[in-house]
Amino acid sequence: MLFLMATLVVGHAAVYRVTPEDDWYGRLSGSGLKPGDELVLGPGVYSDRRLLKVSHRGKRGKPVTVRGERGAVIRRPDARQNTINLAGAQYLVLRDLEITGGAAGIRIHADGGTPAAYVMLQNLHIHHIGGVAVTCNHDGNVYRGMVFRQNHIHHTGGHGEAFYLGCNNRPDGSSPGYITGALIEGNYIHDLNGSGVSQGDGIELKDGSFGNIVRHNVIHDTKYPGITAYGTDGKQPNVIENNLIWNTMDSGIQIAAEARITHNIIARAGGNGIRSMPHQSAVPKDLIIANNAVMSSKASDIRISGPHEGSIIVRQNRIRDGSLRIEPMQGVEAGANSSSATGSRKFDPAKVPAWKPPRNFFLREFLAR
């Protein structure tokens, strides 16, 4: 009786292991995995010309996990489809895989009336993609509780973003989809400025996205800003903190409104170090730009362009003397913002320690959402 009871409690969760020689496509695609199930991909290259649509749905506290053993690679053989489509996936953990080829690396989107939500991408190596590495830009999908951690992304194509999060506004000014409550942490993003890249932001939060945390990321050699965020439409500010960014062909960080930008290090930006200006529905407001260090930017270290409204605080940033540009100055609190010895010193990437992902693992927080 006790054995039977134990079986009834835990028997529904299973661990499956596949290799490239097995029917891995049938197991990985669709929605057949149940809450708590784990699918392990053994070493080898997994490649198929069919559309790979993954729609597994776990539950809070019982995610579906898809992970690779060392040497597991999902490689799309052409750019006619995305490498992986997470369609209506919920409480899904995808980790420890190399992903390459395809029009986009991972496209996360709704499936019929089921939105994608509570997806964790952990320790993925995404590279040499025909388009964006990770997209959350499906019209009408409210993306909740996403966690993107410790991923290595480089050599994208097309628009070239590493993370394209949220949707552009419609012509009538409305926002068709946004991301909220996401944690984008500890990712290593670089070389998004190839000949096939038309834009190439490192991390982009579209208009209306709110309450997201972007921290501890290392970003360099991008065609557009390392981090771009628009406005939150008056909702909870986005937090941009403790990121290291260098060698952007545009600004290091570009934020329109409603953000907390603190303790970032930006070096050798092709434009401004930190830039704020009106964009889509957002007018610069509710901004705190504090305790950042900007070195060797080609334009202003910090620049805010009007019109702007509401509270804007710019303080205790380590920048070059005279490199703070605010237009107009009225209504902006700015003080204790320069240190010529720090702000003007040269930045040598060779002296940056090799990137290592943060040791903290937020799976517990993720499962509690």
Burial 103-112 (b: 16+ CB within 10 A, else e): bbbbbbbbbe
The per-residue pLDDT for 1 is 38
Q: Are residues 179 and 212 in contact, defined by beta-carbon separation less than 8 angstroms?
A: yes
Half-sphere exposure of 242 (CA within 13 A, CB side): 8
pLDDT of residue 296: 80
Question: Burial level of 51, CB count in 10 A (0-12/13-18/19+)?
Answer: exposed
| Token code pair at residue 157 | 């194509």
| CA separation for the pair 132, 159 (Å, rounded) | 6
- Tens digit of each residue's pLDDT, the chain (369 residues): 343 333 333 446 899 999 999 999 999 999 999 999 999 999 999 999 999 999 999 999 999 999 999 999 999 999 899 999 999 999 999 999 999 999 999 999 999 889 999 999 999 999 999 999 999 998 888 999 999 999 999 999 999 999 999 987 765 655 578 999 999 999 999 999 988 898 999 999 999 999 999 999 999 999 999 999 999 989 999 999 999 999 999 999 999 999 999 999 999 999 999 999 988 778 889 999 999 999 888 899 999 987 787 788 999 999 988 888 888 766 687 777 876 555 556 777 777 777 766 544 333 444 444
Give whole-number Cα distances, 57 to 29, 30, 36, 38, 178, in Å.
12, 10, 10, 12, 21
Where do the domains of the chain lie, and which CATH numbers do they carry? Answer: 14-368 (2.160.20.10)
Q: Which amino acid is at 354?
A: A
DSSP secondary structure letter of residue 351: G
> What pTM did the predictor assign?
0.91
CB atoms within 10 A of CB 349: 12
Pair of tokens at residue 308 = 């702007």
Q: What are phi and psi of 4, to 5 degrees?
A: -65, -40
- Three-state DSSP at 282 gives strand
Closest residue by Cα to residue 85 from 48, 59, 60: 48
Residue 217 contacts residue 202 (beta carbons within 8 Å): yes
